[in-house]
Every structure is written in structure tokens, then in C-alpha cells.
Amino acid sequence: MHLPFCETKCHYCDFFSVPALGQDIDGTLQAVLAEARTRAPLHPKTVFIGGGTPSLLNENQLHVFLTELNAITHFQDSATEVTLESNPESVTRDKVALMLDHGVQRLSIGFQSLEPQTLELFGRVHSVDQSFRAHDAARAAGMQDLNLDMIYAAPGHDAAGWEKALKRVLELKPDHLSAYNLAFEEDTVFSRWLRNGEVQKLPEEIELEMFQTTREVTRQYGMHAYEISNYAQPGRACKHNENYWANGEYVGIGPSAVSYVNGVRGGSPRAIAPYIKSINKAGHAVDWTERLSPRQSLGETWWLGLRRSAGVTPEKARAAAHFTEAQDPMLPQAELLVEQGLLELVEGSFRLTQRGIPLADRVAAEFLGDGDS
Ligand code: SF4
């Protein structure tokens, strides 16, 4: 579920989200629910309410939205994981209690940094103290499954500072940590600053040092690096994202949300007014679709799967991609990468080696071909 409202726009963000002030939030929520009535699966296994910043909804909006979503999908009877994304400035103990009452089991809080100047550089509207207060409020309300989001390798960062911040965050004993290095995505303030020379990327070796520090420190705190940027306490890996990384099917609802069903990927408009108009007219808002060939789907399965510590089992990848040809076109590439020391074959699965892990993006991208069969 994509609820596209935020307090302001963060400088690194390329998701579809808009500042909430002056927007028709109730009208958008009604449109999202109307779309859910036509497209949301009954009895989903996982639900991820993201955006945007769903926690900025007020208690009444959250109550109406979650109650109605449950009436449509009965997710409270079926889902083993229901996540809601939040930001520190809009998390209160009462709100989290309400979420728990309405079936939300997992809260993700965007800390992003513990340095005031970096929060400012990122365009975040909360303070470091607010992040800790949001965390404490969530735990006090009884939230048992917490993810904290952090970003490293921002301009001006150094490895020692990152290690210190990371340890401070891990002292909170989060169940899950997402730690991404700052990406300069197109059409963001950061990409403009980079083009204009107003900021500079950190040298790759410093980024790599921070990445290795993240893996080492999370390990010391009992967390497992189950995906290249995601770390979990035992049993706390994000099931929703695990399905996505296994190239499983999913239904996305809301403006800009993407779905992947029966080999067809499709998405809604990245704009609120056209989204609402389509929903009111047709009950859905499919703006674009693309049918992936089994070959393309297989390439994506490898691309996504190699970022996971479990790696890729060729037979499972072929099954996920509905690829039925006798020759597996991915195996020669995988074997070449084994020879280069970047992948290893362990109990039937291809996985990144210690040398390959820092190069995960590049290695995984080797499997994304044009694919024409
Ligand atoms: S809060 Fe999240 S979704 Fe909203 S602008 Fe910032 S990064 Fe993007």
C-alpha cells in the first residue's frame, strides 16, 4: 500500500511522495481503499503500508483506513506480518497503540542519521532526540517488531562516526536494521547538488569501509545480514521483502504503486489527481504495464536473489520465473563469476563470496540481459 504523503520532501528521496499540507488526504485514502476493494487479495500473507509516511495520518484517519482495509481483505486473520512505515516526528505512544489494535505488528522508523547536520542535509524534519523518543514510544506501546532505517556515506561522513552512530542505534536492540549507503538518484535535490558540485560523493573505499563496518558491528549485536542492506535478529527478517527479493508476486495499491502478477508488472500514476480520477472512473488506476519474458524474469530473479545471503538456487529461480527451456541461460554467467572468485556454489545455491559481497550491485547486474525468449 502506498500512501504518498510526507511532512516535506527529503533531499535524497526518489519515491513518489508529496508534502501533506493542503493535500486531500481523506480523498486519497478513500481512493486507495476503493482500489483495494477491486484489486487487493483476500487473506494476504503480508501487508506493507508504506509511502510516503503513513504515520503522519491522524488517529482517526488511521482507524478508518485500517478498519476498512481489514473489512476488505481480512488481513488481521491471515497476515503473519503487517508493517507500517513511520518517521520520528509523527510517532506517538497512542498512535502506535492504535496501530497495534488494528493489526499492525511491525513498525519501521526512519532514523536515517544521528548527526543533526546530516539530518539537515537530508532535509529531514525531525531531531535526533525525536528519533529516540519515537523508538521509546513504540516500545512503550508494546510494538514488538521494530525496524530502524539508517543511511551512511553522506557527504562529510567518516567511518569512525558511522561506527559510533551504528552502535548507538544497535544498543536499542532493534529487531531489524536497514542500512543503505546514500544514493544520488535522478530527480532528487542531491543529484542536482552533485551535478552543480555543491556536494561530493565519498570515495568508494570509505563507502566500502562503512559497509564492512556495518556487517561486522551488526554481527557483534547478533544480527544476520540476510540481504545486502538488511540485517535482522533471528526470525525477524522482513517476510514481505523476502517475497519481493525471491521475485514472488505482489499487489501494490495506491498512487505509483507497482504490482507483479502472472509475469506482468504494472503501476499506477505517480500523481494523486490522475490516480483518484482513474479510480473513480474505472476502479483501478493502471497507468503502465510490461509483460516480462520468462528469460527476463529469470534474470531479475538472479539479480534480486544474489543480494540475499541465501543466494540463488537455479531450479527455484527457474520455477519462480516460469522458465521451462532445457538450458538455463544463467548458469554460464554464474560459473564465470565463480571462476572469478565473486560467487561460490554452496549446497546447490550460488552466493556472493566475501570478495563479491561489496560488489553485489555490479555482480547481480551481470544477470540482467535483454532477454528475448
Ligand atoms: S519521509 Fe521517506 S518517503 Fe517521505 S520524502 Fe522522506 S524519504 Fe521520501
* CATH number belonging to domain 2-245: 3.20.20.70
Q: Is the pLDDT assigned to residue 158 strictly greater than 60? A: yes
pLDDT value of residue 339: 97
pLDDT of residue 370: 54
Question: Average pLDDT in the 281-292 region?
Answer: 92
| CATH architecture label of 294-365 | Orthogonal Bundle (1.10)
pTM, two decimals, is 0.94
Q: What is the pLDDT of residues 126-136, one digit of tens each?
A: 999 999 999 99
User: What are phi and psi for residue 140, nearest 5 degrees?
Assistant: -65, -35
Instruction: Give the pLDDT mean for 223-231.
Output: 97
Question: Range(s) for CATH 1.10.10.920 in the chain?
Answer: 294-365
Over residues 323-341, the pLDDT tens digits come to: 999 999 999 999 999 999 9
Hey, whose CA ends up nearest to atom 2 of ligand 1? 52
Examine the pLDDT at 372 and tell me if it is beyond 50: no
Closest CA to 48 of 17, 75, 10: 75
Nearest CA to ligand 1 atom 8: 13
Ligand 1 pocket check for 9: Cβ under 6 Å: yes
Return residue ranges of the chain for CATH 3.20.20.70.
2-245
Minimum CA distance residue for ligand 1 atom 3? 52
Average pLDDT (356-365) is 92
CB of 254 within 6 A of ligand 1: the answer is no
Mutate-to-test residue for ligand 1 from 6, 23, 184, highest number of ligand atoms within 8 A of CB = 6
Task: Find the 80 Cα to ligand 1 centroid distance in Å.
Answer: 26
366 CA distance to ligand 1 centroid (A)? 30
**What is the best residue among 8, 11, 14, 15 to mutate for testing ligand 1's pocket, by most ligand atoms within 8 Å of CB?**
15
Substitution site in 17, 84, 125 for ligand 1 pocket (most atoms within 8 Å of beta carbon): 17
Which ligand 1 atom sits nearest the alpha carbon of residue 12? 7
Place of cell 511491525: 106
